[in-house]
Chain A
Amino acid sequence: MREIVKLIVVLTAFCVGSAFSLAFVKEATKERIEYQKLKVLVAPAVKAVFPSYDNDPILERVKVKLSEKEVINVFPAKKAGSLIGIAYEGIGSGHGGAVEVLVGMDLNGKILGIKVVKHGETPGIGTKAVESQEFLNQFKGKGVGSKLTVGGDIEAVSGATETSTAITEAVRKAVEMFPKLKEKVRG
């Protein structure tokens, strides 16, 4: 009996010690890991949507709470210390799930550039819209006040209508959020 108790106590102590040290390391590296992930996955897109900036938008990201559960990362682009625009993601529903589009906006609510960050569209079909610079460039200069609908002011890539619609939807949703986000980032 005493033997069994000893085994249980030792093994429990090992697991508890392990759990505490792991919780500590996890907490200590959490910030860094999030930064690294964004740096690798989002930083190239941020570069693509802004013509020029000289800060590190990933490091200076602002977390904005949209509702109880929804938190969005907003990446501010600055030049010589003053804010020139913000980039953040909008989500549309495509053929293969969510299509996440990073939208770069200037301070007047005009789109500077967009880039699809994550999608599950069919290679060779839906991806035509994701890769078509001609299609993505249509969004430049539009912004708050534009209709942003396929068939309205956006022309879909033929053969990739569903994906084109999803990207447009994502951009439209992102643009709708702009006034709210701008206040938060400035303030």
Chain B
Amino acid sequence: MEGSRLVKEFTKGLWKEIPPFRFVLGLCPTLACTTAVRDGIGMGLCLTFVLVCSNVLISLLRKVIPAQVRIACFIVVVATFVIIVELVTQAYFYPLYMALGIFIPLIVVNCIPLGRAEAFASKNTVIYSLADGLGMGLGYTCSLTALAIFREIFGKGTFLYHHIMWSGFEPFAFLQKPPGAFVCLGLMLGIMNLIGSGEK
């Protein structure tokens, strides 16, 4: 086990391969769950949990899973953890569960857990898979939070439901609507590409 590789696998999800902005994956919740900062963080953490658990389990069982039915096995593992997340958010964070609604069960069909299972966890050892899942999950959480901060502050004039803008501030209600989500995402992708273009 090499420390520098571990760090690399962890940090790649935070910047170089940050899922929604570099791979443009998992966009459904990125657009739908970013109207409020709490929802963005909540969604991100739900996905992080699923990703870490499914990555670890799949990596542990990678020698047992036959190649022909691997996708079916991955989906069963991912779906199991998603339902666990759904039950736990319902039991302990009910308002968050109400806000995220259908998007929690939809993590099953999110490309990221399945993609990481297929591309990474099924080929690497447990410890690297853990780092990969954690990095990707936190990268995803940061992306959602960044979008949500922008959309909540300018779209509603609040931050974590506290009013922070000056009185008389007219919120850009457009940012709270679905088209606003697309525009924000587009701007974000543009900025990321602008910054990234220098690195190549």
Known contacts being A18-B80, A22-B80, A40-B98, is A10 close to B91, with CB within 8 Å? Answer: no
Size of A's binding interface in residues, CB under 8 A: 19
A40 to B73 alpha-carbon distance, docked (Å): 37
Is A25's CB within 8 Å of the partner chain B? yes
Interface of A (DSSP majority class): helix
Is A15's CB within 8 Å of the partner chain B? yes
Q: Which of A102-141 contact B (CB under 8 A)?
A: none
Known contacts being A11-B69, A15-B76, is A25 close to B94, with CB within 8 Å? Answer: no
Is A21's CB within 8 Å of the partner chain B? yes
Segment with Cβ contacts to B, from A26-34, A63-71, A77-85, A160-168: A26-34
Size of B's binding interface in residues, CB under 8 A: 21
Known contacts being A18-B76, A32-B91, A40-B95, is A10 close to B84, with CB within 8 Å? Answer: no
Give chain B residues whose Cβ lies under 8 Å from the Cβ of A95.
Answer: none
A36 contacts B91, C-beta separation under 8 Å: yes
Give chain B residues whose Cβ lies under 8 Å from the Cβ of A6.
Answer: 66
- B72 nearest in chain A by CB position: A11
Q: Which of B71-93 contact A (CB under 8 A)?
A: 72-73, 76-77, 79-80, 83-84, 87-88, 90-92
Q: Mark A1-44, 1 if CB is under 8 A from B, else 0.
A: 00100110011001100100110011001001100110110000
Nearest Cβ distance between residue A170 and chain B, in whole angstroms?
26
A39 contacts B94, C-beta separation under 8 Å: yes
A87 to B104 alpha-carbon distance, docked (Å): 34
Known contacts being A18-B79, A22-B84, A29-B88, is A36 close to B73, with CB within 8 Å? Answer: no
Give chain A residues whose Cβ lies under 8 Å from the Cβ of B98.
Answer: 40
B73 contacts A10, C-beta separation under 8 Å: yes
A14 contacts B77, C-beta separation under 8 Å: yes
Nearest Cβ distance between residue A10 and chain B, in whole angstroms?
6
B94 contacts A7, C-beta separation under 8 Å: no
Give chain B residues whose Cβ lies under 8 Å from the Cβ of A14.
Answer: 72-73, 76-77
